[in-house]
Amino acid sequence: MSTAAALRRQIEQDLEGRFPAALTFAPRTIREVASTGIDAADELLDGGLPVGAISEITGPASSGRTTFVMSFVARRTAEGRVCAWVDVHDALDPESATANGVNLRQLLWVRCRDSAQNVANRSRPWTRLDQALSSTDLLLQAGGFAAIVLDLADTLPEHANRIPLATWFRFRQAADRTRCSLLVLGKAAYAQSSAALAVECAPLRVEPAGGTVLRGFTYEIRRGRQRSAEVNVSRMHGVRKPPVSTWSAGAAWEAKKRA
């Protein structure tokens, strides 16, 4: 046994009463993952999005975040599972969902709305947020949903950041218990430490066809936090390869043209 190993063992034995295995990395939970349906993203995320955990998909408008989440939902419904979309700003487009292969009959859509007294004052979206959080809570408790998307993409960060941390903890526990992938779609990361994975999306370029038709977009995704990943040795030494990947989404009319 080398001197360093012997020294480490001795220190651990001395501190055992107060800190078990003080100099050993804590074992990480290797979670089951589900494919996103995007090869580049699956490769970047070691197989896909975690099952039974919260994943945060963040990015500005037109960054491909909704397309990314839609692809994941399409994949899950294609496996015969049931998913839910909690839509804070009633922005889901069923036509786009169908174009991406989502089986609409297996997608529960919860459309939040302003209550009667708040319609006049649109600057206070608390009611919509409350509805979304309550609905998400109920769906998580009910169980049986393979994925639940909490769509906060159009919610201002100053509003979404006021969601209590206890709510995210509760969601994390419920998602773990019911083996549901809770996807939080937003402009920024809100679940913080409760999220097992954070993915940042960004627009890269537009693909026009002949200068007259919009043919598609190329997006960039960047992996943020990933709790369940295996420890990367190179990361321990401070040499970290940027976990970035690119992927493309075509226009719906391109699909029809090819067909």
Partner 1 sequence: MSTLYACVRAGEFPAQALLRLRPDLQSEPVVVLEGRAPHEFVCAMNTHAFRRGATLGMMRLDAEGIAGLRILGRSAETEATARTVLLEYAARFAPRIEEASEGTACGFVLDIAGTERLFGPPAKLAERLRVELAAAGFRVSIAVSVNYDTARMKAAATRGVSIVPEGAEAVALAKLPISALNLKEEHLDTFAIWGIRTLGELAALPEVELISRLGQQARRWRDAALGELPHMFQPLEPVFTLKEFCAFETPVEQIDSLLFIGARMIDSLVARATDRALSLAQLTAHMKLEGGSVHERVLRPAIPSTDRKFLLKLLQLEIAAHPPQAAVHSFELSAEAGHCSTMQLGLFTPQTPEPSRLDVTLARIKAIVGEDRVGAPMLEDTHRPGSFRVGALAAEGSVCDEPQTQRMVLRRMRPPLPVRVTMRDFQPTAFRDGVSLFEITVAYGPWRTSGCWWSAGEWNLEEWDVLAERSDGLSIACLLVCDQARNQWQLEAVYD
Binding to partner 1, residues 114-173 (CB under 8 A): 131, 134-135, 138-139, 141-146, 153-154
> Which H or E element spans position 148?
strand 145-152
- Nearest residue (CB) to partner 1, 34 versus 189: 34
Does position 217 bind partner 1 by CB under 8 A?
yes
Using the rule CB under 8 A, is 101 a contact of partner 1?
yes
Q: Within a 10 A sphere around the Cβ of 167, how many other Cβ atoms?
A: 15
- When asked if residue 82 is in the footprint of partner 1 (CB under 8 A), the reply is yes
Q: How far is the CB of 250 from partner 1 (least distance, A)?
A: 6
80: contact with partner 1 by CB under 8 A? yes
DSSP-assigned beta bridge partners for residue 249: 217
Nearest to 144 by CA among 168, 183, 175: 175
How many CA atoms are closer than 13 Å to the CA of 244, on its beta-carbon side? 9
By beta-carbon proximity to partner 1, the closer residue of 77 and 226 is: 77
Token look-up 């370029």 returns 205
The two three-digit tokens of residue 52, written as one number: 């039974």
In terms of CB distance, is 67 or 226 closer to partner 1? 67
CA-based nearest residue to 86, from 52, 29, 32, 128 = 128
Q: Which stretch binds partner 1 (CB under 8 A): 2-10, 75-83, 168-176, 234-242?
A: 75-83
Q: Give the DSSP letter of residue 30.
A: -
Residue 79: CB atoms within 10 A of its CB come to 12
The least distance separating partner 1 from the CB of residue 217, rounded to whole angstroms, comes to 6
Q: Looking at 34, 49, 54, 99, which residue binds partner 1 (CB under 8 A)?
A: 99
If the CB atoms of residues 65 and 223 are measured against partner 1, the closer one turns out to be 65
Q: Is 67 in the site for partner 1 (CB under 8 A)?
A: yes
Q: Return the range that interacts with partner 1 (CB under 8 A); candidates 5-13, 158-166, 167-175, 205-213.
A: 205-213
CA atoms 231, 235, 241, 243: torsion sign? positive
* Residues 7 to 66 in contact with partner 1, rule: CB under 8 A: 37-38, 60-66
Residue 184 contacts residue 155 (beta carbons within 8 Å) = no
